[in-house]
Structure 1
Amino acid sequence: MAAGASLLLSGVGVHAAENGTGFYLLGSKGPGAGFTPPPGVYFENDVYIYSGSLGGGKSLPTGGRVAVGVDGNAVFELPTVLWILPEDVAGGRFGLSATVPVGWMKTSADLTLKGPRGHAADGSVTDTVFTVGDPVVSALLGWESGNFHWQTGVMVNVPIGDYQDGEISNVAFHHWGADVSTSLTWLDPSIGLDLSGTVGMTFNAENPATDYRTGNEFHFEWAAVQHFNEQFDAGLVGYYYQQVTGDSGQGATLGDFEGRSLAIGATVGWTFKVGELPLSTRLKYFHEFDTKNRASGDAVLLTLSMPLSITKPVSAQ
């Protein structure tokens, strides 16, 4: 279940473009990314921890300003409810999901520049916020055949979170966005090997508070995991991010500002029962490198998932 539900997760990590962030959470997909759980209602809670730095006196557009020499730390909680319908849809299983992020973020800058051409300057700035971000609603459709499991999904960022106008730390994005992705998992139960991959594209509308529109963002995530028994697995994970079109709008004073990043890391998973309730946990760690126009750092993602109810499937007529 954890693998299927995590396919829907979004978040607010430090990823690219305006504020150095994108609403799609890199690393949220992983082992079992193409797997869709049986019909029912599921709950998943993710805790995402990130620490990174732009480094080298580089600039970042944020809060309608340009920040120089940026360091950032963030901790987010991402509770998600997933509903897999009992009816077959196009020969597969259809699901709906909603996530409401809550988080803490601290951003420090050596210098911030104001105005359309960055004429006015402030000294060092530190901004800390703890609040509710933009909710994300999602839909998926998944199929399986033998050892192959595949899934396609779309998620939409709804800009109604607590946006702090003019601040350099923000949990909410204050703009509409959509991400479309496809995932494939090959899982051989006889040897316990899981090979998974996800490709996707994020599309962003303009932030009306800053007149800034982030360009389209491509992401690819992968996982190679060995299941040692029914309870424990471990393996490698990673992702590649590339902004494929430039930023635009009057607020895009740094031009295209196309970002790039690679990351590699490790994961362990553990499944157990509390009474009759099955619980799935997963820990993922990522180290970023080869970054451009975004922070480079380390991320930890801790996932706990469980079924709330299981529904008997309804066969197609």
Structure 2
Amino acid sequence: MKFSSKALVAAAGLTALAFTPAYATEGGDQATKPGAFIGSSAGVPPPGIYMFNQVFTYQANLVGPGTVNALGNAPGHKTGVQAAVDVQGFLFVPGWTFLGATYDAVFVQPFVMQSLGTPINVQSSGMFNSYIVPVELSWKLGASGFAVKTGLGIYLADGTDTSPTTLNGPANPYYTFQPELILSYLANGWNLSVAMYDEINTENRVTHYTTGDIFHADFTATKTIGKWTFGPVAYYVGQVTNDSCNAGCIGNTLFHVQRYNEWAVGGLVGYDFGPASLSVWATQEVSANGKNAAAAALGADPSLVAQGATVFATLSYRLWAPEEPAKAPMFHK
């Protein structure tokens, strides 16, 4: 079977994952970079072991009532947020089926450089939490072109820590569970997909603070013509449950954003080189807002969210594939 790298780009397992810096160490922290599933789908490539290399940069500023209430910024002053991320990942497709679905598994290791500007002035770099998806199942719905994929990803609390008692490292000192659901239409060169996934966090092992659930929806509407793929993309991310801070917790939910919403729009272009494929997408966050209702009732909402632009590139290729069975020779009298 000839390998098509377009199928790999379409695989939903190809995700880049990164922590978006936020003021303070709790509240609003995201394990997955919003838009990480852009360009993916509910499809699965042929059996084999695949690798993908991803890089992206995120350039933003903090916005929200906390720019004045928490940071004390004067009107017009901007606190910058920057991140540069490199991701190495593997997609395993053994050719197994279960309940009519195709099985695959994913391992991703991100490396992060990130910073926050004045008046915070914090920088960090190192290995972010490893991300594993032990099970993804993809169903093709007949010959309709529609497909459904579901799975469960897990961020391990194994990233770089500068100290076991501080939070200055680039990684999150807690686990994050990420169930996913991807719906796609894949026919006639189209990839019309929405990927929905939710971050469910465990308690921070240092502060015992627990960040609320964060919901993502990534949208792809691309068309492939020949070797080229292009089309509009978008994403939404928002915190849908409040943080919690029990007895003995270091911190206070009044000091952090409890609910926020961000929308971004952009475009994707990709090219299939045959042995490998490259795709690049860029987005601009056009809306970002955050609030802490309890703190606002006391007169000083500290909520902060980042609003900015992302440029993201993925190179994907197959490392290994099972050999096709040899065909019996033809004999003629």
1:267-290 CA-to-partner distances (Å, cap 9, x unmatched) read 0011103xxxx1011101111122
Note the 1:115-154 alignment, pairs <5 A.
Answer: 125-138=120-133, 139-144=135-140, 145-146=142-143, 147-154=145-152
AA at the equivalent of 2:160: D
- State the alpha-carbon separation in 2 of the partners of residues 164 and 40 from structure 1: 38
Measured at CA, do residues 106 and 167 of structure 1 come closer, stay the same or move farther in structure 2, by a change above 3 Å?
farther
Q: Structure 2 unaligned runs (5+)?
A: 1-7, 74-78, 291-304, 325-333
Pairwise CA RMSD: 2.6
Q: Verify: 1:106 aligned to 2:115, yes or no.
A: yes
The aligned counterpart of 1:176 is 175
Residue 12 of structure 1, aligned match among 9, 14, 19 = 19
CA distance in 2, matches of 1:153, 1:109: 40
Question: Structure 2 vs 1, CA of residues 67 and 79 (structure 1 numbering), >3 Å: closer, same or farther?
Answer: farther
Shift of the 211–67 alpha-carbon distance from structure 1 to 2, 3 Å rule, reads: farther
Q: 1:15 to 1:82 in 2, by over 3 A?
A: farther
Contact 1:197 1:221 in 2 (8 A): yes
Change over 3 Å in CA distance of 1:235–1:15 after alignment to 2: farther
CA deviation profile, 1:42-98 (whole Å, cap 9, x unmatched) = 0011102101111366259xxxxx766542101011100111122212212111111
Q: Give the SS at the match of 1:18.
A: coil
Please give the alpha-carbon distance, in whole angstroms, between the structure 2 residues aligned to 1:170 and 1:73. Answer: 15
| Aligned counterparts of 1:148 and 1:58: Cα–Cα separation in 2 | 44
Return the TM-score normalized by structure 2.
0.79
Shift of 1:296: 0.5
Aligned match for 2:100, one of 91, 94, 97 = 91
Name the one with the larger strand percent: 1
Q: Once the 2 structures are TM-superposed, how far is the Cα of residue 193 of structure 1 from its aligned partner?
A: 2.5
Amino acid at match of 1:282: S
State the match for 1:117 in structure 2.
none
How many residue pairs get aligned? The number is 288
Aligned to 2:236: 240
Deviates more, 1:244-253 or 1:262-271: 244-253
The verdict on how the C-alpha distance between 1:211 and 1:292 changes in structure 2, with shifts beyond 3 A counting, is farther
Structure 1 residue ranges without an equivalent (≥5): 61-65, 111-124
Q: Is the 8 A contact 2:12 2:42 kept in 1?
A: no
Amino acid at match of 1:245: T
Query: What is the alpha-carbon distance in structure 1 between the residues aligned to residue 15 and residue 131 of structure 2?
Result: 9
Identity percentage of aligned residues: 23
AA in 2 matched with 1:46: Q
Cα deviation, 1:204-259, whole Å, max 9, x if unaligned, reads: 11212233211011111111112122x10110000111211001113234256212
Q: Which has the larger radius of gyration?
A: 2
Between stretches 1-10 and 278-287, larger displacement belongs to 1-10
Does residue 47 (structure 1) correspond to residue 55 (structure 2)? The answer is yes
Structure 1 residue 168 displacement after superposition: 7.4
